[in-house]
Chain A
């Protein structure tokens, strides 16, 4: 997507990972990203110093009231602000634009440019959510595998049996009780640790 590279963007998000991805995405499209801020202490000063054309800020950021006050007091050109949503559904942003919640981004900027930035933000945000979900799943899988290994070790020790027999016994238990192997492992560990 080609966009005029003249728009200077400031990204404010307490979620560093998400902000980094968003920044990359904006850069890829030729926008100039002035800074990514997550520490919002001296926000008013930083905004005055950086002079962004546009600020992308999380809908749920506590700093939103700070920026709105600045826009109200600054009679020159209010710095436009956009938010993207913590709420997973991507419709929120589209809906926000349509209902005018983020209409103030239009001040001094062409609407089509804003939508392309928002589209990019929304797409990046969705990707990030997916990534985070995958990460959680991967972590759970890893944790499950560790649990199973531990339970297997306990069974081997207690019944003095080889590894494959211990694993087979656990798998049979899982099938009989119709429970995931990780849960069976957790139960075994809990019981064995009491004994």
Chain B
């Protein structure tokens, strides 16, 4: 699967020189690999990568045209659509850049306190029961949980887990800490726990500063995470550039998912202009990253809807279901992705939506070239559905 062949004739990009933003995390690797292995070049694009210090900066620079497109949490284009991004320039999600990658890490002290609970375990239900027990036993306690961004999967998964375990999210103090400061903040007791992307959980564990309680994939198997985002204007003005960009990134995603390429991938990431060598010994079982396939890369409407509902939970005014549908349609756009995938001879789903969060094993949706196999996607508190053939 790792060798996707580019078509012999490629469209001419409207804009061949592109600057893409990334934040130094394991899941920035599709962009980094596409550049380092020359996939952008093979697609006729000259791409510079710009390392950014915050998601807010990524969003604003994309809005201002200082970046053409960027890796970003799936929630950013949608939060902007809800008027929460501060910028008014509509943004679009043009493809998914991967699944999973997050975990909840606790300080040694909080972890040990939870271990005292009679129900303690490292599955989401038992871990939640233990946290609930701890909070009942210590009614004054309000442990500080850090995430890395308000509208990212870290925040949504953490809140989803708490709610599903019957814990009022108000019982914890939620703050944001920039990822590079996370492990230090945990070490110095400024925070008691964090939910962040890899490699930060592995780093905390390796430095014996914290212990992973549960991984994001245990809360929701194969949950969406980062996407390729740009502005709607940019996507409309540069359809060929966008299609070429998606083709190069799909090639990179396929290459990364080949287990034989893992060592080379980590070597590429360890270069100082990307993650640096300190950050590249992630425990693959914590992250369980999945970078390639329809589940990982297609901009699913059904995921946009779920995310919009999560974002809306922090808002005083709720929008109607029809309004959210319209926002999802405007923000998660699949036309460029469909063209790029077709050019690479990849099977595509017929529908832009799929049932989410209930499959305990591989399952199928109808594809344009026959059934499309998707990986399990169950959320831990959802009753499992006997699978295969949804349509």
Interface residues in chain A, defined as those with a beta carbon under 8 Å from any beta carbon in chain B: 40-42, 44, 59-66, 68-70, 72-73, 75, 83, 87, 92, 95-96, 99-104
Decide: A59 and B60 in contact? CB cutoff 8 A: yes
In the complex, the answer to whether A103 meets B64 with C-beta atoms within 8 Å is no
B88 near A96: Cβ-Cβ < 8 Å = no
Contacting pair A65 B63 (CB below 8 A): no
Contacts of A87 in B (CB 8 A): 66
Choose from A62, A99, A102 the contact partner of B54 (Cβ within 8 Å). A62
Out of A69, A75, A83, A102, name the residue touching B175 (CB < 8 Å). Answer: A69
Complex interface: chain B residues within 8 A of A40 (CB): 178, 181
In terms of DSSP, what is the predominant structure of the interface of chain B? loop
Q: How far is the CA of A92 from the CA of B185 in the complex (A)?
A: 33
- Convert B171-184 into 0s and 1s, putting 1 for each residue whose CB lies closer than 8 angstroms to a CB of A: 00011111011000
Please give, as numbers and ranges, the residues of chain A lying within 8 Å of B61 by CB-CB distance: 59
Whether the Cβ atoms of A102 and B86 lie closer than 8 Å is: yes
Q: Is B178's CB under 8 angstroms from A103's CB?
A: no
- Can you list 5 A-B pairs with a CB-CB distance of less than 8 A? A60-B53, A62-B53, A63-B178, A101-B63, A103-B86
B150 within 8 A of A: yes
Question: Would you give the shortest CB distance from A82 to chain B, in whole angstroms?
Answer: 11
Query: What's the least CB distance linking B82 to chain A, in Å?
Result: 11
Contacts of A70 in B (CB 8 A): 176
B316 touches A100 (CB 8 A): no
Which residues of B are found within 8 Å of A65, using beta-carbon distances?
A: 54-56, 148-150, 176, 178
In the complex, the chain A residue whose C-beta lies closest to that of B185 is A41
By the criterion CB–CB under 8 Å, are A69 and B87 in contact? no
Within 8 A of A (CB), among B269-320: 314, 316
Q: Are B55 and A41 in contact (CB under 8 A)?
A: no
Given known pairs A96-B64, A101-B63, A101-B64, the reply for A69 and B86 (CB within 8 Å) is no
Q: Name the CB-closest residue of A to B79.
A: A72
Across the interface, B87 reaches (CB within 8 A) one of A64, A66, A92, A101, namely: A101
User: Once the chains bind, are A99 and B150 in contact (CB under 8 Å)?
Assistant: no
B89 at interface (Cβ–Cβ under 8 A)?
yes
- On whether the beta carbons of B64 and A95 are closer than 8 Å, the reply is yes
- Establish whether residues A63 and B87, one from each chain, have CB atoms under 8 Å apart when the complex forms: no
Hey, which chain A residues are within 8 Å of B84, CB to CB?
Answer: 72
Shortest A129–chain B CB gap in Å is: 17
- Report Cα–Cα, A118/B52, bound state, in Å: 23
How many pairs of A and B residues are in contact by the CB < 8 Å rule?
85
Does the CB pair B174–A99 fall under 8 Å?
Answer: no
A63 to B84, CA, bound (A): 18
Most buried by A among B54, B88, B180, B314: B54
Chain A hits for B66, CB < 8 A: 87, 92
Given known contacts A61-B54, A64-B54, is B178 in contact with A99 (CB within 8 Å)? no
Shortest Cβ distance from residue B264 to the other chain A in the assembled complex, whole angstroms: 30
Distance in Å from the Cβ of A6 to the closest Cβ of chain B?
Answer: 24
Within the complex, which residue of A72, A101, A104 is in contact with B314, where a contact is CB–CB below 8 Å? A72
Closest to A95 in B: B64
Contact B181 A99 (CB under 8 A): no
A59:B57 contact, CB within 8 angstroms: yes
Contacts of A92 in B (CB 8 A): 64, 66
Q: How far is the CB of B185 from chain A (nearest CB, A)?
A: 8
Of residues 92 through 148 on chain B, the ones whose CB sits less than 8 Å from some CB of chain A are 147-148
> Which chain B residue has the least Cβ–Cβ distance from A100?
B88
The answer for the CA separation of A174 and B182 in the assembled complex, in Å, is: 55
Query: What are the residues of chain A within 8 A of B181 when measuring CB–CB?
Result: 40-41, 62
The answer to whether B57 and A60 touch across the interface, beta carbons within 8 angstroms, is: yes
Interface string of B155-188 (1 = CB under 8 A from A): 0000000000000000000111110110001000
- A64 vs B84: C-alpha distance when bound (angstroms): 15
Q: A41-B190, A73-B314 are in contact. Are A63 and B54 (CB under 8 A)?
A: yes
Q: A100 and B87 in contact (CB under 8 A), knowing A63-B178, A65-B54?
A: yes
A101 to B62 alpha-carbon distance, docked (Å) = 10
**Residue ID in chain A nearest B84 by CB atoms:** A72
Q: Scan residues 171-223 of chain B and give those whose CB is less than 8 A from a CB of chain A.
A: 174-178, 180-181, 185, 190
Q: Are B150 and A64 in contact (CB under 8 A)?
A: no
